[in-house]
Amino acid sequence: MFRFILPLIVLVGASAALSADSKEYRAREAARDQVELDKQLTGLVPGKPQSCIDTFRYRDSTRVGDKILYKNGRNDVMVNDTGGGCFGLRRGDAIITKTFGSQFCRGDIVRTADLVTSMPSGSCSFGDFVPYRKP
């Protein structure tokens, strides 16, 4: 009987320790992402969220955690929180979007793929686009 109970106790203890480490890791990642986001948006003021943006206007993109920043110069940035699911964003994988027309809109599907193998690494959808502009 003890042969089965002791390994079970060890396994439960180890998984609890890993869970605590995982929570600490996620908290550190979130703090690091927030610092990077603050750095990217320094001097800019948020505006009213929009459901769509023109793709031709915002050609440069940057990833910060689960957010995608679309830039039109330094003083015009649109921030989109994908809400998670695009695990490849954090790794720097390629962003793949399928648009119908000339806009990215809330609800459009975003996929990520590994740059070397082209293997899919995640998918999510756009949320609202929050404009950040120089006052």
Q: What is the pLDDT of residues 54-103, one digit of tens each?
A: 999 988 999 998 899 999 988 999 999 998 778 778 788 899 998 888 99
pLDDT at 21: 74
What is the average pLDDT across 49-58?
94
pLDDT at 107: 94
The whole-angstrom separation of Cα 90 and Cα 124 is 13
Residue 90 · residue 123 · CB < 8 Å: no
Q: Are 95 and 104 in contact (CB under 8 A)?
A: no
Claim: this prediction has a pTM higher than 0.85: no
Burial profile 54-79: b = 16 or more Cβ within 10 angstroms, e = fewer? eeeebeeeebbbbbbbbbbeeeebbb
Picking from 74, 3, 68, the residue whose alpha carbon sits closest to that of residue 44 is 74
Tokens of 14: 């180890």
Look up residue 58 and give its DSSP letter.
-
Taking residues 11-33, report their average pLDDT. 71
Nearest to 75 by CA among 95, 45, 96: 45
What does the block give as tokens for 89? Answer: 């964003």
